[in-house]
Structure 1
Amino acid sequence: MIICIFVILQFLAIPAAWAQAANEPKDFPFTQFDVSDYSSFHFRGSSIAHGALQVTPDSENLELTNKSGRITYKRPYRLWSSDIDDVVASFNTHFVINIFRNNEWEAGEGLAFVIAPDYEVPENSYGQWLGLTNDTTDGDTENKMVAIEFDTKKQDFDPDNDHIGLNINTIKSKKNVSLNGLGIDLAPHPDKVTNYSVWIQYDGKTKAMEVFMAATSGSTNVEKPVEPILNDTINLKDYVKEESYFGFSASTGNPDIQLNCVWQWNLEVEVLPVKKDRTWLKIVIGVGVPGIVLLGLICVMLGLIYKKKRKRAIDEESLVLGTLKSLPGIPREFRYKDLKKATNNFHESMKLGQGGFGVVYRGVLHEKDGGQHGASTASTTASTTEIAVKRFSRDNVKGQDDFFAELTIIHRLRHKHLVRLLGWSHEKGKLLLVYEFMPNGSLEKHLYDSSNPNTLHWSHRCKILTGVASALHYLHNEYDQKVVHRDLKASNILLDSHYNARLGDFGLARVLDNERNSYAELELGGVPGTMGYVAPECFHTGKATPESDVYGFGAVVLEVISGRSPGVRIHHEQQHYSLVDWVWMLHREGRIQEAVDKRLQNDYNFDEANRLLLLGLACSHPIDSERPQTPAIYQILSGTLPAPHVRPFKPVFTWPSMVSTFSTSDTTLFNITSSTSS
């Protein structure tokens, strides 16, 4: 019995030990930052780049105006006790900041060290609001926010451009100090780039808040000044939540912009005592120690498992968001609730198509276009935009891989014949990509949809093929990295209002990098793609190349001209042919024109049809090195090169084609001169 009582006493001491462990920083100090630190923070409109916390978008982003961001440490700290009167935690923090602007920028708006109830950024908190509040919430006592601002843009209530201030639930400082007479220029001219070390000390007993600053160079340690620049008295218990987050908030305006960087950060927070209640000890002993101990251990185990899973999910989402927001040129982030509303809660009637990676919905986005920061909402105007929203079918780790693969490929691609990415959303494990809406749908719909009574005109078909060839040439040769699409087919070719082709669905696309271009990367059984469009060597090598994309393009050419699917067998004279074998048979017998879609009713150009059918056969050559490359394809389509010479009998796929794929380096492989003659 004595042993049991000892066990239960130890068990009752566990919560106190947990409380103490919960306030012990595991990651501080941060002397520099890199991608491995993403799991240590919550990011909103911010990222890690160039070795620093980028509280607002960094220089690699295209849009820097009217932005706000927040970065907080991954967990909250207990700052006061509801059990013990007038007990507030002391804390010390030291960080190094750099506020940068180039010659063309006027500095604005500011950076702040913040103690907040959560890590979310208020809507419309750009400009003068410093990512802390907005014109609706500013001054609200429910903000539960205290901040030290480093302001670089004068407002009516500020002393000047460069000042620091103590803010409580509002951007109007309770106390501020001008820096003009102290030799401190927060956002200096580019040829005078300066980092500043900042120390903030708070004494939980005296309630004194003190802020010290000193210029520093890079990571060189400097002495803390003897006298604080700003000091004031504030009882944090009156203004912040019992458990609050520490971090940084910042904003830019329009046209005033700057880069808000934090290079180093250390934080120490006092661990508060826990008030003990001995009543529970008597109750536990009275009802039976062994049962309580067993129940307690079970609860502890379940709690630890739940906490571990929840932490992993939060860390994974923080890593995802941080990685996304650090991508150069990344488009805007949409709110999940806005996309849900735009698609009528992803209603079946809004569905545009479905593939192996997700479902695409039509959406109507209603947004308000506001004016400058601080402007009244009465001055906003509404705009309506049609969009296509791709909702990934797998919201797990594998689904995130698919999401990343498509986003990291397409977010920097810029070509008039590629579907343009408008933005993305990643909230609560839901993965969404937002594309521009194509009013004429897919090429597949126009070729086979029985509800569409009008067939594609000949001129439309030629224009579509020329557009797809142009997009493919860009991916293979003009973009700064070689990209293989790997899923070229009619359903992935979309048409705008003028029947211009837009190549889309980059779910299987990959950048060719150090031979990492195999289908096995996707961890899918077999070779992904649609029968009839996949090059024969892919079934042997498991690799995708620009040449396999050309094979898929050849299948599309034959499909567009004939109006027949490459995946459907054709019955002809008591035999069954694939589309390419059927066209090759007609070519051998000198009647290739019979392959032209009968729905055109001879309303087409004979010479163009002949040239395109021969081009389709040349691209469908079983040996990859014999297929034309995209520059030649584009010239044949435009008529500047003659139709390729195609042998009357279809060649047989041979093993050396596979060997060359394995043994040839990327550089050599992509520069093979394609033959268009026998």
Structure 2
Amino acid sequence: MSRKFNFWMVVIIIALSATENSDGKLIMEGSIGLIDGFRTLTNTNKHAYGQAFEEDPLPFKNPIDGTVTSFSITFFFAIVPEHRHKGSHGMAFVISPTRGIPGAFADQYLGIFNDTNNGKSSNHVIAVELDIHKDDEFGDIDDNHVGININGMKSNVSAPAGYYDPNGQFKNLSLISGNLLRVTILYSQKEKQLSVTLSPAEEANIPKRPLLLLSQDLSPYLLEEMYVGFAASTGAVGAIHYMWMWHVSLSLAVPNLDFPIPTFPRYPNADSQVKRIVLVTCLTLAIFVALAASALSLFYYRKHKKVKEVLEEWEIQCGPHRFDYKELFKATKGFKDKQLLGKGGFGQVFKGTLPGSDAEIAVKKISHDSRQGMQEFLAEISTIGRLRHPNLVRLQGYCRYKEELYLVYDFMPNGSLDKYLYRRANQEKLTWGQRFKIIKDVASALCYLHHEWVQIVIHRDIKPANILVDDEMNARLGDFGLAKLYDQGYDPQTSRVAGTIGYIAPELVRSGRATTGTDVYAFGLFMLEVSCGRRLIEPRAEANEVVLVEWTLDRWENGDIIEAANERPSGEHNREQLELVLKLGVLCSHQVAAIRPAMSKVVQILDGDLQLPKNLLDSVKFEKVRMLSETSERFLDVLTSQGSIGTLTFTEPFTSQGR
């Protein structure tokens, strides 16, 4: 089939079929490839992305008055899913300040942004997304929609995929139909409007009524010269994103092109998959009686082991971010000992590299034979899997295989903070600037958990060993295995006390109630530990210096609080910051929960937007009590004799209620 079209003045027109020999102008990266001579942005690799950008930039802005030039963009695409009615994720047309977008993530980020820069005004990126997966974290309306995005994955405007016919009736279109579709993007400098129209390729004229209309001046977001291109990504379910032809004109002229409409290949191995399904179905019917007996036995086993039922619950909640075991096995080189990063309370952590994307990951392997291990797994899946913050370790996905469960995280090349604090393996000493930023990073993450997400998340195990450091020395809070989640406005209930001795608030030991205040208590001690460069308890120190919080308060009462730190930073400003953090640490770790500030206030104080109260010392003074309450006093001898901090768990239930 073909259509006869008129032809307007063209700035760029590129056929993306390999037979056209025209992709010399394109700079390609990632999973881009060829299938039967057709250019694709993605291949059969899972959790991968591809980018294709024009080699030279275009002048989108008038250098004299800074106004944005009117422009029109037309491109043709087709998406062929791995499964007939399901694929993940989508693709996008992108206007970017750089030729290609470095550091982009696959999956829900479509090969455009990552969890650190998503939503930042400094991106100067405008994208039109064609999304085939619903991501609640970005406010997606469904799994078949078109959106206009500025600087992030949350669309400014979006609508279900479709078009308006000449009679004004809306017609639905499936983005994963495998059919060639056309997208037309127009920006009017005069009207300050950006419109997007989706239509079938065989329609001779584009619809008069656009699918999306954004009334906004783009001059704050576009630079004088910008690059144009495409990005696409896959997730746990595959999809091939075919690019056929695209056109950019620095005017409102909309081209109509003359070309035969192609038929795109099916997803690789699709035919063999269909044959396999037919064969399996026939065999299943032939031996139905035998399988029925096996199925009854298997049901009895699952019912009593209660493994399958639990997994089904969280698999439904967590959606498509599920890795194949073979993929993780290959990524970690068979979970070899040389890939082992460390051992946690409930499992081992291995370093890996995802095949096809070269993305480094950390895989936590959790044994199924531990009830606590299962609880930790479910807590991490249900909590961190839906959280997005630059100072939280991102959970990429999960996997189950036989009796083993796996969590897949971003890899943090610099490891945990404790080795920097105590300079293990000849580690470089942290500067005060780095320490202060780490404290602020963790405070920001906790503020998000306590106040900014849709539900309150209590971490319950804040300590340097659970703070990971990325390659730019940014701190990220991890290990949500002990986290408890509850709706805003409801009181948490818990059946056991879990955490690390020394960081457990006195009221938590007495009542068993974990609250945001118990997190603040642990964070206060964490601030003192990072600022002073020593552990909370030093058994070999002088008698009055054994417990860090007592020693800090003692120095405060004597008017030289910064003497509590092992090293004092140079410069008046740094010394003022150190004094502020030490006082705030004592305040947050106060024995009385009502005196501790909320994390939102802590962030304001650290940012300099809020001052510490006057006469603060008088309000935080308390009698010479130990850092641990009387209830946990019996553990002090264990600490001083072992010289270490362990994990404390009470298995007997608590019946107390309230926050």
TM bucket normalised to smaller = 0.5 to 0.7
Correspondence for 1:244 = 284
CA change 1:441–1:530 in 2 (3 A) is same
Correspondence for 1:542 = 512
Report SS of the residue matched to 2:271: coil
Q: For 1:487 and 1:102, locate their aligned partners in 2 and report how far apart those are by CA, in whole Å.
A: 45
Q: For 1:544 and 1:348, locate their aligned partners in 2 and report how far apart those are by CA, in whole Å.
A: 37
Correspondence for 1:563 = 533
Q: Does 1:551 align with 2:526?
A: no
Unmatched tracts of structure 2, length 5 or more: 1-46, 48-83, 90-106, 111-129, 134-143, 146-159, 164-171, 179-235, 243-265, 631-654
Q: For 2:306 and 2:466, locate their aligned partners in 1 and report how far apart those are by CA, in whole Å.
A: 34
Correspondence for 2:452 = 478
Selected match of 1:324 from 310, 314, 318:
314
Correspondence for 2:74 = none
Correspondence for 2:277 = 145
1:352 is displaced (CA, Å) by: 2.4
Alignment of 1:6-21 (within 5 A): none
CA change 1:415–1:140 in 2 (3 A) is closer
Correspondence for 2:258 = none
Contact 1:635 1:641 (C-alpha < 8 Å) held by counterparts: yes
Correspondence for 2:473 = 499
| Structure whose CA Rg is larger | 1
Selected match of 1:136 from 256, 269, 280:
269
Show CA shifts across 1:528-584 (max 9, x none). Answer: 211221111110011110000000100110000111112444621x45632211211
1:315 is displaced (CA, Å) by: 8.0
Contact 2:352 2:361 (C-alpha < 8 Å) held by counterparts: yes
Correspondence for 2:492 = 517
Report SS of the residue matched to 1:327: helix
CA change 1:534–1:591 in 2 (3 A) is same
Q: Does 1:508 align with 2:482?
A: yes
CA change 1:356–1:567 in 2 (3 A) is farther
Correspondence for 2:139 = none
1:123 is displaced (CA, Å) by: 8.2
1:136 is displaced (CA, Å) by: 3.4
Alignment of 1:333-348 (within 5 A): 333-348=322-337
Q: For 1:358 and 1:467, locate their aligned partners in 2 and report how far apart those are by CA, in whole Å.
A: 26
1:140 is displaced (CA, Å) by: 8.2
RMSD across aligned positions (CA) = 4.5
Q: Does 1:646 align with 2:636?
A: no
1:403 is displaced (CA, Å) by: 1.3
Correspondence for 1:221 = none
Correspondence for 1:354 = 343
TM-score under structure 1 normalisation?
0.52
TM-score under structure 2 normalisation?
0.53
Correspondence for 2:575 = 606
Correspondence for 2:185 = none
Contact 1:455 1:599 (C-alpha < 8 Å) held by counterparts: no
Unmatched tracts of structure 1, length 5 or more: 1-44, 46-53, 68-98, 112-121, 147-238, 246-268, 275-300, 368-382, 521-525, 656-660, 670-678
Contact 1:492 1:505 (C-alpha < 8 Å) held by counterparts: yes
1:384 is displaced (CA, Å) by: 0.4
Q: For 2:296 and 2:315, locate their aligned partners in 1 and report how far apart those are by CA, in whole Å.
A: 30
1:349 is displaced (CA, Å) by: 2.8
CA change 1:271–1:640 in 2 (3 A) is closer
Q: For 1:134 and 1:102, locate their aligned partners in 2 and report how far apart those are by CA, in whole Å.
A: 22
Q: For 1:315 and 1:551, locate their aligned partners in 2 and report how far apart those are by CA, in whole Å.
A: 37
Contact 1:458 1:604 (C-alpha < 8 Å) held by counterparts: no
CA change 1:641–1:331 in 2 (3 A) is farther
Q: Does 1:580 align with 2:549?
A: yes
1:357 is displaced (CA, Å) by: 2.5
Q: For 1:635 and 1:139, locate their aligned partners in 2 and report how far apart those are by CA, in whole Å.
A: 60
Show CA shifts across 1:366-423 (max 9, x none). Answer: 22xxxxxxxxxxxxxxx20111111113455653332111111112111111111111
Q: Does 1:107 align with 2:107?
A: no
Selected match of 1:596 from 550, 560, 565:
565
Contact 2:86 2:237 (C-alpha < 8 Å) held by counterparts: no
1:518 is displaced (CA, Å) by: 4.1
Task: Give the partner amino acid of 2:622.
Answer: K
1:463 is displaced (CA, Å) by: 0.5
Contact 2:512 2:656 (C-alpha < 8 Å) held by counterparts: no
Correspondence for 1:528 = 498
CA change 1:551–1:140 in 2 (3 A) is closer
Contact 2:513 2:657 (C-alpha < 8 Å) held by counterparts: no
Correspondence for 2:605 = 636
Correspondence for 1:422 = 396
Correspondence for 1:658 = none
Report SS of the residue matched to 2:501: coil
Report SS of the residue matched to 1:494: strand
Q: Does 1:488 align with 2:488?
A: no
Q: For 1:57 and 1:138, locate their aligned partners in 2 and report how far apart those are by CA, in whole Å.
A: 17
CA change 1:495–1:331 in 2 (3 A) is farther
Contact 1:583 1:595 (C-alpha < 8 Å) held by counterparts: yes
1:430 is displaced (CA, Å) by: 1.8
Contact 2:416 2:467 (C-alpha < 8 Å) held by counterparts: yes
Task: Give the partner amino acid of 2:516.
Answer: P
Report SS of the residue matched to 1:432: strand
1:450 is displaced (CA, Å) by: 2.6
Q: For 1:479 and 1:534, locate their aligned partners in 2 and report how far apart those are by CA, in whole Å.
A: 24
1:435 is displaced (CA, Å) by: 0.9
Report SS of the residue matched to 2:535: coil
Show CA shifts across 1:119-159 (max 9, x none). Answer: xxx9858799xxxx953362589x3434xxxxxxxxxxxxx
Selected match of 1:625 from 574, 577, 594:
594
1:271 is displaced (CA, Å) by: 8.5
Alignment of 1:91-240 (within 5 A): 102-103=161-162, 106-107=173-174, 109=176, 135-136=268-269, 138=271, 143-146=275-278
Show CA shifts across 1:504-530 (max 9, x none). Answer: 11001111348663442xxxxx63211
Q: Does 1:441 align with 2:410?
A: no
Report SS of the residue matched to 1:332: coil
CA change 1:406–1:643 in 2 (3 A) is same
Contact 2:457 2:483 (C-alpha < 8 Å) held by counterparts: yes
Task: Give the partner amino acid of 1:555.
Answer: L
1:365 is displaced (CA, Å) by: 1.7
Report SS of the residue matched to 2:541: strand
1:351 is displaced (CA, Å) by: 2.5
CA change 1:603–1:617 in 2 (3 A) is same
CA change 1:469–1:137 in 2 (3 A) is closer
Report SS of the residue matched to 2:359: strand
Q: For 2:322 and 2:389, locate their aligned partners in 1 and report how far apart those are by CA, in whole Å.
A: 21
Q: For 2:572 and 2:389, locate their aligned partners in 1 and report how far apart those are by CA, in whole Å.
A: 31
CA change 1:331–1:615 in 2 (3 A) is farther
1:476 is displaced (CA, Å) by: 0.7
Show CA shifts across 1:430-469 (max 9, x none). Answer: 2111111112211111112431341111100010111111
CA change 1:577–1:125 in 2 (3 A) is closer
CA change 1:543–1:556 in 2 (3 A) is same
Selected match of 1:385 from 341, 347, 359:
359
Q: For 1:575 and 1:326, locate their aligned partners in 2 and report how far apart those are by CA, in whole Å.
A: 54
Report SS of the residue matched to 2:354: strand
Report SS of the residue matched to 2:473: coil
